[in-house]
Amino acid sequence: MLAIAKITTKGQTTIPQHVRAALQVVAGDTIAREVGIDGAATVRRVQPIDLEYMLAVESTLSEWSGPADDEAYRDL
């Protein structure tokens, strides 16, 4: 499905209704845009992060929490 939209002077655009419906997004949802080396762009819906779950998982990862790990992964 092709959707054409103009870009405003602020770099904004409107996502057409049929595209929002296909992506199953509504106001407040998050989307990701990815541009390939060929210039083709894709847009997808991003699932919200379940912060409570992530904090629970984090508490189980203490084996990777030490000075050597901090040093090894500092620049990531």
pLDDT at residue 64 above 80?
A: no
Distance in angstroms (rounded) separating the CA atoms of residues 43 and 48? 16
Q: Looking at the domain assignment, is residue 12 inside a domain?
A: no
Q: Looking at the domain assignment, is residue 44 inside a domain?
A: yes
Q: Looking at the domain assignment, is residue 60 inside a domain?
A: yes
Could you tell me the residue range of the domain that residue 59 belongs to? 17-73
Q: Looking at the domain assignment, is residue 11 inside a domain?
A: no
pTM: 0.58
Selection from 51, 50, 33 nearest residue 42 by Cα: 33
Q: Looking at the domain assignment, is residue 3 inside a domain?
A: no
Q: What DSSP state is assigned to residue 14?
A: P
Q: Give me the mean pLDDT over the 32-43 stretch.
A: 94
Q: Looking at the domain assignment, is residue 25 inside a domain?
A: yes
Q: Looking at the domain assignment, is residue 62 inside a domain?
A: yes
Number of domains in the chain: 1
Both tokens of 21, joined, read: 């419906």
Q: Looking at the domain assignment, is residue 35 inside a domain?
A: yes
